[in-house]
Amino acid sequence: MLMKIAKDRIRKGMFIESVACPSREFARRRFLLKCDRDMAAILTSSATDVSINLRLGVDPDGRKVSAVKPASSSLPPKDVRTRAARGVVKQSAKVLRASLGDIVSGRPLDMAHLSEAADENAELWSDSTVIALEVTRLKSKDETTYVHSLAVSGLMTLLARSLQMDDETVRILGVAGMLHDIGKLLIPNEILNKPGHLTDRERVVIRNHPEAGYQLLKTHPEIPQVVLDVCRLHHEVLDGSGYPLGLKQKDLSVPVQLSAVCDVFEALTSVRPYKRPWTVSQALDWMFARPHHFDRKMVIRLGSVLSDEPIG
């Protein structure tokens, strides 16, 4: 059970899930608060609030809500959790591949099945964020679109919960993340998976995928409007230099801005044929330095829900 409190209410014995500030100010995530040094560092950071886990530590009144202790020995070994996470990702990718294939082929979409897969994926990211980052950052050519979409979906649900969106909105955004890149399935593989530089013509084809995906999804009336918007606009940025419509911040909804942050972060931290993956901190710092593209509060909040443990 998570609770967001003002930073001046922290006390020893709390289990800190996240501190809403850049990692360079306070890098620790998911730990039991035991020392004055960490308390002082949180209080002097730019954060205004902190998320605490009531299952693993005391509440603001110093009471222990649950007998569950944050001992690492209570968790299965990491290799066991990693294998389990790979199983979840593999199954979710299978469901996603089938669902996207149905849409592309003009068959009816099983929205309930897709929503269930999005919920399971969200649970994985909520329970094992670091492991989820590990198992989704390495992708084979034939699964890049699917696993990228699963990762963006998981990140979107984490960030939406951190922004205190209601459960139904979080659930819909999980589905939106899964469907946001469906337009890439309409791109020839020799262009989509090309390891070298793209030609101008190939770049135009790639940049058309949000509009192509949107046109495809809107033929399914059961798909919510916010899912359509995320698909079409996840490459728009705040200063209007994005695509396909060149919209500026005032015309971009919060879910669309959230999807752009998560999509770029996942791309930066993943292994791709043409680049090495960035670390979590490198990606967040790069995005934070571009307020003309990304909402800085969202970048900070995304950093606050990601563990700074090394990945890879």
Instruction: State the DSSP code for 309.
Output: S
Domain spans of the chain, in order of start? 2-72, 78-305
Mean pLDDT, all residues of the chain: 88
Residue 32 tokens, joined? 């039991």
The three-state secondary structure class of 33 is coil
Q: Pick 265 or 164 by higher pLDDT.
A: 265
Digit-coded pLDDT (tens) for 59-116: 998 988 654 444 444 556 777 888 888 888 988 899 899 999 999 999 988 888 898 8
Digit-coded pLDDT (tens) for 178-197: 999 999 999 998 898 887 78
Digit-coded pLDDT (tens) for 264-303: 999 999 987 667 889 988 999 999 999 999 999 999 989 8
Residue 123 tokens, joined? 């649970």
Q: What is the mean pLDDT of residues 192-221?
A: 93
Fold of 78-305: Hypothetical protein af1432 (1.10.3210)
Q: Determine the Cα–Cα distance for residues 185 and 204; give it in Å rounded to an integer.
A: 15
Residues 6+ apart with CB under 8 A from 312: 134, 137, 277
Residue with tokens 């890049």: 144
Q: Determine the Cα–Cα distance for residues 263 and 268; give it in Å rounded to an integer.
A: 9
Which pLDDT does position 307 carry in this prediction? 53
Which pLDDT does position 70 carry in this prediction? 43
Of 54-63, 77-86, 194-203, 247-256, the one with minimum mean pLDDT is: 77-86
Residue with tokens 């897709």: 114
The three-state secondary structure class of 49 is strand
